[in-house]
Amino acid sequence: MNHSSLQIIVNRWGSKIQDTCQAIDSEFLGKRGPVPLVSSYSLLVGLVYLAFESKPVHITYLYEEILQASKSDLKLMGFQTKPTYRQLCYRFDLLKKMTESGGTQDEVIQKLVDILVAPSAGEINGNLTWAVDGSLFEGWTSQRKSKSADSGATWRAMGTSKHKNSPVLGYNLVGLVRCEGTELCDRIVVTTANEDDGKPAADMIKRMLAQGIAIERVLADKGYANKPKSFLEPVRKAGVHLTYDLMEKDHGISATYMGNKIVDGWPYSPALPEHLEHIKRPGLNGSQKAFSTFNELIAQRDNYSFRTQGKPHSDRARVASPATRGKLRCKVLGNKAGLAAPICKIQHSKNEACGVNTMIIESSLAPRNYQYPIWGTTDWTIKYAMRSAVERFFAHLQSAAIAGFDQGRFCVRGLAKVSVITAIFVIATNLRLLHSAAKKVATTIEKKINKSINQPRTYNGHDVSFGAIRGEKRSIATLLGS
């Protein structure tokens, strides 16, 4: 076994779950069956080690590693003696049985997964922005066989070049990844492939809030715009801002309120020209010219936008009319604005449309697309760009050089076992990223120290830098000219 890898796992993660594993083991006391000589701690550390070292996460492979392990490595993992293959299998099966006993099975599984994953990400250190996303993966079973091959898995089309939208039998991993500093995964949920992951994702966020973790904003892709009841509204009501892209069908006017247009989830003057009601954002491969045109149209539309009064809430905002704030000239109000400001030629009363001094807009008026910063603006673009953190994490998770998470690396079936094994891969990825970040910091510091050490310094015409002293081995008295 790689002693240094094992040491990293034990120091960064293993020491944080010892009490948890003891509590898990206490659940097994008094159960019928052979005495479990393998602790949960030893088993879990061993499985994380396999993922950390990009090896197949099988009990068989763990047993082979243990057979070759030194006494010091076994001691690190918490083994008193080398276990048998049967003992390893027995312990892992007990973990599965524990998740299936007492209460709702999904709740017990989720509690165990949260307990395992959270310590691998470590302290949050002021991070307020997370990104959420899902990743469909195949279960360990023949795709030619029926669903009964894995009772926990379900069928769903996977939109990748490998599968070309053909249906696969598997599961869905939903992860919440930090967007600031080292991009680590703090929580995960594993569901069956065809389950709506909106509610599990919202519940994951609310659990973190209940634990006293401050979450200011969550970033999501346009797929979550399709889930206003299961994801968007519950997260907004929890006090968390959402920033996400919109589906094509969600662009344009979704409602009117007090004589104003609700466009892309935000109120605009009724004078907003029709060609600015539906602005298409270029895709990832869009040209510079296309993005330039998009930004120009967004800037034009901004002149008609209602302005925020105070700090917007996650599900509502107090806003003021652009006409009453000198951004739009209105003939009805007879207000003054700059010559470059657009003119409202719409017939309306003084108490509606442009005449509304301030009003409260609630997310219920536009449940599929309400958000602040306003979709498409520069502030929105800057925040949404941070969402790539979750995509990078999933890329690390699936990379053969990091954890290589795919169906060929695990051989378990059922939601309980698949959830635990998925957590193992996520933990290994977190630890890898932390280790890589620490190495980069150490390398940077070393370079600065070496540069400082070898920086030429003279005294009485002599080079008295540490490098010169060390290289030429001259006495200090000689160098100082005494």
Query: What pLDDT, in 10s, does the model give residues 144-175?
Result: 555 457 888 888 887 665 666 778 889 999 99
Residue 378 lies in a domain: no
278 confidence band (pLDDT: 50, 70, 90): very high
Please give the Cα distance from 44 to 53 (Å, whole number). 14
Are 348 and 259 contacting, i.e. CB atoms less than 8 angstroms apart? yes
The residue among 367 and 24 whose pLDDT is bigger is 367
Boundary residue ending a domain (301, 330, 364): 364
Structural domain includes residue 369: no
Q: How many domains does the chain have?
A: 2
Residue-wise pLDDT tens digits, 415-442:
999 999 999 999 999 999 999 998 887 6
For the stretch 369-391, pLDDT in tens is 999 999 999 999 999 999 999 99
461, part of any domain: no
Q: Does 211 map to a domain?
A: no
| Domain end position, chosen among 73, 99, 125 | 99
Range of the domain at 305: 266-364
Q: Which amino acid is at 47?
A: L
Residue 346 domain-assigned (yes or no): yes
Beta bridge partners of 261: 256, 268
User: Is position 313 within any domain?
Assistant: yes
Tokens of 23: 């509590």
Q: Identify the burial level of 233 via C-beta atoms within 10 angstroms of its C-beta, where 0-12 means exposed, 13-18 middle and 19 or more buried.
A: buried
Average the pLDDT over 323-347 and give the result: 86
Domain-terminating residue out of 59, 76, 99:
99
**pLDDT given at position 149:** 74
In a domain, 209, yes or no: no
Which stretches within 376-475 are classed as H helix? 378-385, 388-398, 415-453, 466-472
Contact 435, 452 (CB under 8 A): no
pTM of the model: 0.88
357 located within any domain: yes
